[in-house]
Structure 1
């Protein structure tokens, strides 16, 4: 339902809705970007899981206070105008987790 380029992340995204779940496909636009580096190191496959949250800043603060290692301590802009932040895979058994919030 949507294709967009996120220049800050050096990625092109394509979104599909499957029932209530959203699938996002990523294409690197630069081999030195985060997705390009991931594919070079690990090959194609699942990059991360994303969860919609409310109050992303509070969620990050609570996670940090509980010892969860974060990549992003403050949200940044992602595709579809969402505020996003990532948890470090070391804190989530090797799975990169993204928190997303749609701001009004």
Structure 2
């Protein structure tokens, strides 16, 4: 089911400071910036590498307010890894497959994600305590079948 690690989401208090840190320290390049009102974040995607299954990124997330999911995460846990996102060929199919295995999903259907992707989240309690995101990249053909999982 998974083609690659699409991105690692990192919660932060100051997006610009973290962009500078990751750009200077790891020589990563910002490829996209967005404000996602629905998710309550300002974000930046920093390119890591390209692979056979697609590109991988670091996603820096700054909450728009303290009462957003990322704002609450920061208040409880501080800055750090918020979620791991896996690239999938078809997010709706991946959701069905996980639900069929008893994994609860936080989304009833795919929603808009970074850089035009379609995303959905799996409940952390059902996948080892890790907030897990499924990502179908923008322009990826839907309904691509895979026998892996």
Alignment of 1:1-104 (within 5 A): 1-20=31-50, 21-104=56-139
Q: Where in structure 1 are there 5+ consecutive unaligned residues?
A: none
Over aligned residues, Cα RMSD in angstroms? 1.1
Q: CA deviation at 1:102?
A: 2.2
Secondary structure at 1:18 match in 2:
strand
Q: Which runs of 4+ in 1 moved over 2 A?
A: none
Structure (1 or 2) with the larger CA radius of gyration: 2
- C-alpha offsets along residues 4-58 of structure 1, whole Å, 9 cap, x if unaligned? 1111111011111112321110001111111001111111110000011111111
The TM-score, its normalising length taken from structure 2, stands at: 0.66
The TM-score, its normalising length taken from structure 1, stands at: 0.93
By relative contact order (CA 8 Å, sep 6+), the higher-ranking structure is 2
Q: CA deviation at 1:73?
A: 2.6
Matched positions, count = 104
Q: Where in structure 2 are there 5+ consecutive unaligned residues?
A: 1-30, 51-55, 140-149
Secondary structure at 1:9 match in 2:
coil
